[in-house]
Every structure is written in C-alpha cells, then in structure tokens.
Structure 1
Amino acid sequence: MNMMKPIGSVKKLWSYPVKSLLGQTQSEVMIEPRGVVGDRRYAIRDVNGKLGSGKTTKRFQRIAGLFELQAHVDGDQPVITFPDGESIREGDPNMDLRLSDFLGQKVTLVKEQDRSHFDEAPIHMITTAAMKWLKTELPSSVIDERRFRPNIVIQTNGDQPVEHYWVGQRVHLGEVVLEVIGLTKRCVMTTMQQPQLPRDPAVLKQISQGADANLGVYAKVLKPGKLCTGDHVEIAERF
C-alpha cells in the first residue's frame, strides 16, 4: 500500500534548449516521456563528433566558452545569444560560423537524432534543502541552482540533501508522476564561472567530501503532463 506524503512545492522550472549552454526559467513546462519538452534537444558538435560539454568523456568534449552563451526557445526553435548581445536563431546560415568563431574551433549546432543528448536521465531535480546544506557548509560561496542545472527545483523543509532518500520512489508533482532512479554525480561544471557566479572549486570539493560527490537526483517520467511553479509535490511511501 502507498501513502502520499507532502514534501513541498515546485519552486522553479528550468530547461536548456542547447546542451551545456545557459538555460531559461519557465513558469510552466510540458513533461513528456523524454523529459521537459525541448530540453537539450540541440547540442554543439565538434569536428570529432563529440558534443560540447563542461566535461570530457567518450561522448562529450569540454569546450571553453559554452557558459557564456544563453539559449532560449522561440516557438520550437532555439535562439542563441552571444555576450555582445547578438542573437541568432537555429536555421540561420551564419549560426555555425558565428559559433565556431566564438568558441575558437569548428563546430556545428545539431538536433538530437537517435541518441539522447542527456547525460543520464530525462529529468534532474534538486531541493532547496540540499542547497541550504551546501550554503551552510560554504558560507562564503555563492550557492545558486544554476551551478547544478536542474529541471525542477523543489521547495522543501530541511537542511540536508533529502532527495537522496527518494531513490526508487515515485514523486507526484501536480499531474506529473516521476520515478527517482539515481543520485546525480557532480563534476567540474558546478565550479565553473557563469554570469553573477564566480569560479569556485570549493563547491565540488565540499560535495565530494560531504555527499560522496552527489547532489540532486535523476528521474524518469511515469506520467507526462503540465507542470507549473507552485504545484504541490508529494512522495508515495510504501508500507
């Protein structure tokens, strides 16, 4: 038998139209089996076929300068804004040339095909309790959810990463139902400089020492639907 336990509400919703670029906040999003509609649907690809990221793996290549670019969706097309204020829409013949010039290497903007652009899972969530814990441990650091690139920020009580205890459980957010499938392993991206956020190696060091390098959780979609800021969040506890 399952009993529903209230745990908070949806504080913020984020999507990242282009992987590893700065994202956008939204008051409501549609959640589909793939995740937030439009999230990381596009990516920047280098000449070796790797996708631009803040880290280097078999699939991804760290490319300096990605966090200086802002992406948002207009209709169903991503628009990339450069630090000088210039904005270019996907499909513009100057897009790849402008990106290549800015990033100092030949790149192309590509749409997701057969393989997902996600690192691990469709949805990434973090709680205000987890960020409060980190801020308590690092009072001199600027702790902001943008360092962690979540889709959903959940307002909840506490001062510990409470979401780490949700793995294997179902979370109901408004009309959407998610299943938490794992912890989010953190990397150097959490330390990188962004607008209004300085570079800060202490962030990753504290997460590594105090939480085994995990902060936040990954989830898959069990029931799609519309999700809005302010929606109630409950967890299905098994008895």
Structure 2
Amino acid sequence: MTVVSLHRYPVKSMLGESVERSVVTGRGLLGDRALAVYDVESGTVASAKVPRLWAGLLGFSARFAAEPEPGRPLPEVEIRFPDGSMLRSDDAGVDIALSTVLGREVRLVAEPPEGSQFEEVWPEFEDLPVGELAPEQLIEGTTARREESGERVSRFDVSAFGAPGTFFDLSTLHVLTESTLDRLRELAPEVTFDVRRYRPNVVLDGTGTGFVENDWPGSVGTIGSTGVRYSFATMRCVMTTLAQGDLPRDAGVLRTVAKHNRIEIPQVGGVWACAGVYADVTADGEIAVGDGHSTPTPP
C-alpha cells in the first residue's frame, strides 16, 4: 500500500488542510489539532460530535500561515469564517468573533484546560445502534446520559488514548484505506462517501478488499519512516453525516457503516460502527504522499 493523501486539522472540528508531507511524532502529524475551541459555560472542548451545539464549527476552515517546522513554535493559524472573512489565531478579537458566530462564549486555546473533556452524541438508525456504550462499559473518566430529546450523550476525557496535553478525541493518528471507502460505495451507491467526512490523517490506496483495517488492531508497521502500532478500529459518529464544505447533510453515510461494519472494541467497551483504524506512533519519522506502508504484522 502507498499513501495517497495526508491531512491535518489545525483547529479541532474545523475543516483542515491537505499536505504533501509531514513530520510525525508521538503527538501525531506536526500541527494536527494544535488548537481547539473551548466552551466557557460547559467547561468542555467543543466538538461537532454534538451537532446541536457545534455543527457550525464545520462551517469554518483552518490552515497554518506558514509551514510548521520541527523544534520551532507553531506558526499562527488562519481561520476562515463561514462568511468568507478571515482572522488569525493571534488576532485580539478572534474569541469574540468565534463566540458571535457560534452563539456561545468560547475561547481559542492551545492546551486543554486541566480535566478537559469532550462530548459525543450517539444516534440510532432503524434499530441499528451506532454504539452500544452502556454505563458499565465506560472507559475510565467517561460518563453517559440521555438528553430530554432522547439523544444519548457520552462525555470522554480529551485524548483518552493519545499524548497528554493534546486535543485528539481518543488516539493520535487516524488511518483510512480506499478499500474501506470503495466497499461503502458498493454497499450504498446513492451515498457520497467522501474522505473529508472521516477526517483521517493518512489515506492509503485501495490494495485489498473490504474493511481491511478491521484486522490491523494489535499489529505494528511503518508508514514512510514512521513506526506505528495499530490500536483499535475507528468508531464513526454523527459528525460524518453533517454538512461540511460542499458536502450536504447525509444520514446514509453513518447508517451504512452501522449496518455493515459493527465491531466489538475491548479497549472502549461495546460494539461500534467502524471505518478506519487508530494508531500510536512508536518511532518518530516523516510521512509523504507516495510513501510506502508496510504490511501490518503482529507485535
């Protein structure tokens, strides 16, 4: 397999940017999820996984003003607002501007405040639960509740399986293959399974058939010169269904995964709709478009 695209997201839950190459460390692609929007009222890191509050984040896009360099402070981030205007992350009025558009008091932060968590909504489709996260199955630091609307909401520690002080949901690196996307397109030709909906860091070509990443957890490999250990399948959520960029809202994006690829994940507990795989970085290196990916092997 080879790398066909690389993606980083300078601000969590905003649209990101594609890059040709990146340094990769235990904190992921250099600059990935460097910033996040912090909700002052709830004390949580804003995530479009709760659409009622944060779907609007996907109307923003973020890119670095200059290319990040190893060993140096990250450059400022340019944030394009839904109306086309742009502010930089160091502009004095950026917090007020974000709060105005999002309708809540928020701050742009570079480090998670102590004890930071994020929330996630778990929808159900025609008796096909996306996740079966029961209270007795919760990972440490996680809570669950039902809203008056009937929505199931879980609250997780930020970067529960990733590097401390980062804004990843669970793990540092997200890998997705074109084989998985091709299989989803076969299963539901009427649905647009665009890679942007899944927010991967690394997309690999389509060598193989079906949901090939399902077999990778527990194995090790290399991508470019970067060593990785695959941890667990990537649980998909309502965020994949939301309108973003030129992609319309489409519940079929998640319904198809929930119907055809639900996997038990021991590290988290429960059975989940999955597409892609999480990975930890075992050896710092670089990844570039066109680089090879070694066949995952047991550790």
Q: When the two structures are superposed, what TM-score results if normalisation uses the length of structure 1? A: 0.91
Are the aligned partners of 1:52 and 1:61 in contact in 2 as well (CA < 8 Å)?
Answer: no
Are the aligned partners of 1:50 and 1:61 in contact in 2 as well (CA < 8 Å)?
Answer: no
Aligned residues: 229
Tell me the equivalent position of 2:55. Answer: 64
Paired residue for 1:120, among 167, 170, 175? 170
RMSD: 1.7
Paired residue for 1:43, among 27, 36, 40? 36
Higher strand share: 1
Tell me the equivalent position of 1:172. Answer: 222
Q: How far is 1:87 from its partner?
A: 1.2
Secondary structure, in 3 states, of the residue corresponding to 2:63?
strand
Whole-Å separation in 1 of the counterparts to 2:209 and 2:107: 42
Q: How far is 1:62 from its partner?
A: 4.1
Secondary structure, in 3 states, of the residue corresponding to 1:171?
strand
Give 1:142-161 correspondences, 5 Å limit.
142-161=192-211
Letter in 2 for 1:38: G
Matched, 1:100 2:94: no
Secondary structure, in 3 states, of the residue corresponding to 2:13?
coil
Q: How far is 1:183 from its partner?
A: 0.5
Tell me the equivalent position of 2:21. Answer: 28
Matched, 1:228 2:284: no
Q: How far is 1:236 from its partner?
A: 4.3
Letter in 2 for 1:107: V
Whole-Å separation in 1 of the counterparts to 2:206 and 2:292: 11
Whole-Å separation in 2 of the counterparts to 1:127 and 1:184: 12
Tell me the equivalent position of 2:123. Answer: none
Whole-Å separation in 1 of the counterparts to 2:242 and 2:49: 11
Structure 2 unpaired stretches of 5+: 67-74, 113-163, 263-272
Q: How far is 1:235 from its partner?
A: 1.9
Q: How far is 1:104 from its partner?
A: 1.3
Tell me the equivalent position of 2:149. Answer: none
Whole-Å separation in 2 of the counterparts to 1:16 and 1:146: 11
Q: How far is 1:238 from its partner?
A: 4.6
* 1:151-208 deviation per Cα after TM superposition (whole angstroms, max 9, x unaligned): 0000132341101111111121121111000011111001011122111111111111
Secondary structure, in 3 states, of the residue corresponding to 2:43?
coil
The 1:229/1:50 distance shift into structure 2, 3 A limit, reads same
Higher mean Cα deviation, 207-216 or 151-160?
151-160
The 1:184/1:62 distance shift into structure 2, 3 A limit, reads farther
Q: When the two structures are superposed, what TM-score results if normalisation uses the length of structure 2? A: 0.73
Secondary structure, in 3 states, of the residue corresponding to 1:163?
helix
Whole-Å separation in 2 of the counterparts to 1:61 and 1:51: 15
Secondary structure, in 3 states, of the residue corresponding to 2:239?
helix
Matched, 1:182 2:181: no
The 1:61/1:84 distance shift into structure 2, 3 A limit, reads closer
Secondary structure, in 3 states, of the residue corresponding to 1:189?
helix
Whole-Å separation in 2 of the counterparts to 1:28 and 1:196: 25
Whole-Å separation in 2 of the counterparts to 1:136 and 1:170: 29
Are the aligned partners of 2:23 and 2:287 in contact in 1 as well (CA < 8 Å)?
Answer: yes
Tell me the equivalent position of 2:90. Answer: 91
Are the aligned partners of 1:181 and 1:220 in contact in 2 as well (CA < 8 Å)?
Answer: yes
Q: How far is 1:119 from its partner?
A: 0.8
Whole-Å separation in 2 of the counterparts to 1:163 and 1:64: 28
Whole-Å separation in 2 of the counterparts to 1:109 and 1:90: 8
Whole-Å separation in 2 of the counterparts to 1:159 and 1:53: 32
* 1:212-236 deviation per Cα after TM superposition (whole angstroms, max 9, x unaligned): 1011000000111111000011124
